[in-house]
Every structure is written in structure tokens, then in C-alpha cells.
Amino acid sequence: MLNWKTKDAEKINQLANNGLMKALNIKVTEISDECLKGEMTVTSLHHQQYGVLHGGASCVFAETLGSIASNITLENGKKAVGTQIMMNHLRPFKQGVLAGLARPIHVGKSRQIWEIEIFNQENKLISQGQLTTQIIDF
């Protein structure tokens, strides 16, 4: 069980109501005892030149979920920043709502590693990866 500093998904979404989360239609939907969940509504603005979801958009979705998860485990005065992301894109996706799930692999004092999975509307895995965050004084 994780020691979340907040489980208020709506509060997190309000704080992030600008920037890349807003531009890419990303929102946090649930914070459970074991994971953080979110959604990204995919439109043609998320596509690469061949008309399917751009892998970079999947990476942004994954890093957003993992970074938020990492940050809400931290004490005041600390922040988590992404230092490495690795993604495997397993199947194409065109349009609709994707579900993402971030689960901890390692939650340490100076570094965290999160596994992120992204699913289509049929609950098929379309991307899977890992995010490493460095914990810094802020």
C-alpha cells in the first residue's frame, strides 16, 4: 500500500488544467491503494503522419501518470522529476479514450521507478513502459 499525500484526482486535474495535460486531453481518474489511473482522449491531433497515435503522445501520457504518482508520494519540499522513460508500443490506436495505469516498482528516497500500462477501449494493452524519477529538494 502506497503512502499517497492525496487521493483527490479532481484536485490534481484542477492544478494541471493548463500545459501539456490540457493540450493532450489527459486526466487522472482514480488513485487507489496500489496505483494511479488516468485517461487520454485521443483525436487526430495526437496522430503521426500515418493517421494513428504518435508514440510521443503515449510517452507523454505515461510520463504524466508516473510523474504525478511519484510526486504525490513525497514529503513537502521534495519533487520528482523524470530522468528516463522507456516505452514499448504494441499496437496502433486511432481515436477514443485510452486508459493508463501507473504502479510502483521501486519507491526510494532518491529515486523511484514506475511501470505504466496503456490500454485501448477493448482493454487490450497498446503500450507498456517504465519511468524513472529522481527525487530533488524543491
Q: Where are the domains of the chain?
A: 9-137
Over residues 6-47, the pLDDT tens digits come to 999 999 999 887 789 999 999 999 999 999 999 999 999 999
The domain over range 9-137 is classified in CATH as 3.10.129.10: yes
Give pTM, 2 decimals.
Answer: 0.95
pLDDT in tens, 101-134: 999 999 999 999 999 999 999 999 999 999 999 9
Classify each residue of 66-104 as buried b or exposed e, where b means 16 or more C-beta atoms within 10 Å of its C-beta.
bbbbbbbbbeeeeebebeebebebeeebeeeebbbbbbb
Tell me which residues are annotated as active site. Answer: 63
Q: Grid coordinates standing for 101?
A: 495505469
Grid coordinates of 105? 516498482
